[in-house]
Amino acid sequence: MMEETILLIAQVSSALTSLAGILSLIYLVYAIKKILPGEFRNALFLSLVFLIAAVIGISSMAIYHFTENHFVYGNMHVITDNVWYSFMFLALAFSLFESWKLHKLGKSIALPARFRKGKK
């Protein structure tokens, strides 16, 4: 009984997280389309790549939880488990790169124009 409850919680939470991630992707694509080209748009594009990797990982986690107690043709349970871990690791690694790029963007915005690129 306890194991079934935990599995149900995992299924519901992974499905809701996948849905929220897909909606976030849609809104982020609309935001990127409406912003003029530049450094900030590039930063949002990096966020889009990170979010795509995270949503793929989370969606495969949802599939993994929904196939946990069922016989699935072709070892789909094992495949989704590997995809889940791979894409979550990829998303984590890409978020480090994205954070570094956003840190550089924040520094360039914070500095007055006369101090950029060695100008005084």
Distances (CA, A) of 71 to 64, 68, 77: 12, 8, 9
Q: In angstroms, rounded to a whole number, what is the distance separating the alpha carbons of residues 35 and 29?
A: 10
Q: What is the pLDDT of residues 63-104, one digit of tens each?
A: 888 887 666 666 777 888 889 999 999 999 988 988 888 777
More confident residue, 93 or 112: 93
pLDDT value of residue 114:
59
7's CB contacts (< 8 A; 6+ apart) are 65, 68, 69
Task: State yes or no: pLDDT of 119 exceeds 60.
Answer: no
pTM: 0.76
Predicted pLDDT of residue 116: 58
Per-residue pLDDT reduced to its tens digit, 26-55: 999 998 888 878 777 888 888 899 999 999
Residue 113 pLDDT level (bands cut at 50, 70, 90): low
Distance between CA 51 and CA 56 in Å, rounded? Answer: 8
Helices (H), 67-113: 76-110
How far is Cα 74 from Cα 85, in angstroms, rounded to an integer? 19
User: 47 and 98 in contact (C-beta within 8 Å)?
Assistant: yes
